[in-house]
Chains A and B, each alone.
Chain A
Amino acid sequence: MDLRYTEQDQAFRSEVREWLEENVPRKKLETLDEKKAWHRKLYEAGYLGMGWPSEYGGRDARPMEQAIVGEEMVRARAPAPVNGLGISIVGPTLIHHGTEEQNQRHIQKILTAEEIWCQLYSEPNAGSDLASLQCRADIDGDEFVVNGQKVWTSGAHNSDWGLMLARTDRNAPKHQGISCILVDMSSPGVEVRPLKQLSGSQEFSEVFFSDVRVPADNLIGELNTGWRIAQTTLSYERGGNTLSRYTRMQESFNRLLDVVGIVKRDGAALIDSPHIRWRLGKVYADMEILRYSSLRILSRLERGERPGPEASIAKLHYSELDKAIQEVFLDILGPYGQQIEGIPDHIALEPDTDPFEPGSWAYAFAWSRAGTIYAGSSEIQKNILGERVLGLPKEVRADRVQATAQQASSSGNGDD
């Protein structure tokens, strides 16, 4: 065991920090063009897609270097890259499963944000049970014809392309009739309707597909192997950058420490209340555990191991912890914690925050409710841990019972 950062890591961190100090935009990014320009700047500095092979514009960076960039971006309050899903999900999926032609066509443009991507997975009736999705892609000559609806699609309104899971064989068992397809969002028949979220902000959409024609060349991997491909992309999502999530929590905690030293309740500074001290101590302890376990994951990634089902522990942990922490923050802050406009500067999480924009205590609280739902809900993570790590038998599920019964009746025997 050696939990020190190497000299190489430390040198890299100072380099990143210096670059961010000089380059983080001083004013808020308003337009899509401004956001794309910032994304491109990050890429040109070598801080996006850094783990990708150099032939695709990456720099084969170590997981630790990626984590350092993630942490330093949080510390510098740098805006997130606008093509986040392109970088975190689509790029790695293409690199692992795409054809050379697909990769040449898209990867560079993902890195430069010339193409903004979204993930067309969830449907109204396929959330946690993603494999029950119904959006169809029927083969017609050398094209797919796509019909159906996707929902909760982050960033769809800005996206040029979407990574879609669609049903390509309606007779196969549900996991075996799904394909992964690249869809040009400007195709005729694609309609994006933005949805307003609980947070008040508008990051995601419903997307409707009516006879959308997609070239058959846009298939990723083999026909009907989309589920397996999606499994790997979901684990990128879960393996994710937990260290930067810790850093974000720590930044908020440190800000809260400033606030509790100043703000009084019932005549005494909040920090003087033993109840509040106890809760602050507990929250910090819980946050530290996330840091330690993030370092443990990073150490495994550094050794070249891919995130496996254990990544579900990290996902479950940080998302549930974020909910718990935000609850404590709001308890301590009283009504200030829920204020979205007009909050005094000495209490605000970040100055100059607009209502329904990131940067207020209330917004962070609202978003903590999303973390245990997206990228596999907490309940799904616990199933994964129970079945794939602890080896517990699968539950009796109505869809499996039905599939077995159908198979039995169609094959004319009840042996199965």
Chain B
Amino acid sequence: MKFDFSEDQVMLRNLIREFLTDQCPGSHVREMIESETGFDREIYRQFVQLGILPFPEQYGGGDLGMVEQAIILEEMGRIPYPGPYFATVMLAGSALQLSNDENAMARFLPDASNGDLIMTLAFTEDDTGWTADAISAEAALNGESVTLNGRKRFVPFADAADIILTVARTPGTSGQDGVSIIAIPADAEGVSTGKEMMFDVTSRTATVEFTNVSVPVENIIGEAGAAWPVLEHVIRRAAVAASAEMLGASRRSMEMANEYAKERKQFGQFIGQFQAVKHMLAEMLEKVENGHAAVYYAAWALDADAPDAALAASVAKSTMNTSSRKVCGDSIQVMGGIGFTWEHDLHFFFKRAKNLEVLYGDVDHHYDQVLNEVLAGRVAGAGD
């Protein structure tokens, strides 16, 4: 039983923290969010070239596991990093890897690994759910090509993406049947993106409309009409990755509030001396440490293909959904008026956490999943 990071994992965390604090100080985050694309292409390129990707080595990745990705995402949450790492690596990259489609991986992953290719996954539609029932975009096979029609919303970094992996179903199918993932070049005819601006200004999304977009059948990732199990797994990984990011945002907020409580004086004493504030911070610490246990347990369970991997992912996401709103929100409360200014960085964490709360399953979705897993007996054994 070893819950601690290995030496390599500690080195990875230090490397990422050093890179991000050097390259993405608060001042530069503000420049990035004011820019057209919302991120810095050069920093993104250098970042993915650190050799930290989960992709297989033959495609330029570092073959790293989910625990390592959680470490990276937690560090990103501490900035919070604005850029298409999550979209390219955790969403589109996971879809390619989990589809086991060697051709597609050979086609896209090497360029993604050196930062030349940005990808995203278009899943969400007007119906903003995360089950197969939420998918109504249609992909009609006709001979050697496939024609896509539909509208996707909240597609992460769709504006910057070169390839949009789009989830659509064969006309006439329903539920988990007939769902496919199709690689659509962003510049294909019939693809148009519409601007969205979210409360979390450090993350970019767009609405993407597909009108009779025709691509060769080779662009279907994995098997046509059989992608649901892959997507379920992609969403599970994304839920854990998002939880890691929320953990980073929460811990960083708590640290800032804690420092402030040691410096700020009111009524002739440090506000951190008041139990009202001290106990709030103690509860935040408890939530952050429990969140750490949940996120890394879930990441490990995915890597180990443990029987309770799905359960653990839902536990991690539901927990971070409720904890991060509390921790990031209470940090603002501790900081008072200063915490409510645009000038202070605290609101970026609060908003990033809020953004991630509704993605890859909200708290209701995951409590439901938890009970389903328990009733199906997919829980951890006691080592027996």
Interface size on A, residues (CB 8 A): 55
Known: A284-B371, A285-B318. Contact between A381 and B9, CB under 8 A?
Answer: no
| Any B CB within 8 A of the CB of A401 | no
Interface size on B, residues (CB 8 A): 54
| Any A CB within 8 A of the CB of B42 | no
**For the complex, what is the distance from the CA of A49 to the CA of B274, rounded to whole Å?**
41
Known: A278-B364, A396-B269. Contact between A5 and B286, CB under 8 A?
Answer: no
Known: A71-B382, A392-B261, A395-B273. Contact between A385 and B297, CB under 8 A?
Answer: no
Q: Judging by beta carbons under 8 Å apart, are B312 and A288 in contact? A: yes
* Those of B340-384 within 8 Å (CB) of chain A: 364, 366-371, 374-375, 380, 382-384
- 23 A-B contacts, Cβ less than 8 Å apart? A3-B1, A3-B297, A9-B1, A9-B383, A10-B384, A277-B371, A278-B368, A280-B371, A282-B367, A285-B314, A288-B294, A288-B311, A292-B312, A295-B293, A299-B3, A379-B275, A379-B279, A386-B278, A389-B285, A390-B285, A392-B272, A393-B269, A395-B273
Known: A281-B370, A392-B262. Contact between A14 and B289, CB under 8 A?
Answer: no
Tell me the dominant secondary structure on chain B's binding face. helix
| Any A CB within 8 A of the CB of B22 | no
| Any A CB within 8 A of the CB of B85 | no
| Any A CB within 8 A of the CB of B290 | yes
Against A, the Cβ 8 Å flags (1 = close, 0 = not) of B281-300 are 11101100110111011001
**For the complex, what is the distance from the CA of A285 to the CA of B297, rounded to whole Å?**
13
- Residues of chain A within 8 A (CB-CB) of B314 are 285
| Any A CB within 8 A of the CB of B304 | yes
Interface positions of B (Cβ within 8 A of A): 1-6, 9, 67, 258, 261-262, 269-270, 272-275, 278-279, 281-283, 285-286, 289-290, 292-294, 296-297, 300-301, 304, 306, 311-312, 314-315, 318-319, 364, 366-371, 374-375, 380, 382-384
CB distance from A318 to the nearest CB of B (A): 11
Q: Which B residue's beta carbon lies closest to that of A299?
A: B3
Known: A285-B318, A379-B279, A386-B272. Contact between A293 and B364, CB under 8 A?
Answer: no
| Any B CB within 8 A of the CB of A28 | no
Q: Which A residue's beta carbon lies closest to that of B314?
A: A285
- Residues of chain B within 8 A (CB-CB) of A278 are 364, 367-368
**For the complex, what is the distance from the CA of A286 to the CA of B287, rounded to whole Å?**
11
Interface positions of A (Cβ within 8 A of B): 1-6, 9-10, 13-14, 17, 64, 71, 75, 247, 257, 277-278, 280-282, 284-286, 288-289, 291-293, 295-296, 298-300, 302-303, 310, 313, 316-317, 379, 381-383, 385-387, 389-396
- Residues of chain B within 8 A (CB-CB) of A295 are 1, 3, 293, 297
Q: Judging by beta carbons under 8 Å apart, are A13 and B384 in contact? A: yes
- Residues of chain A within 8 A (CB-CB) of B269 are 393, 396
**For the complex, what is the distance from the CA of A316 to the CA of B281, rounded to whole Å?**
13
**For the complex, what is the distance from the CA of A382 to the CA of B280, rounded to whole Å?**
9
Q: Judging by beta carbons under 8 Å apart, are B370 and A317 in contact? A: no
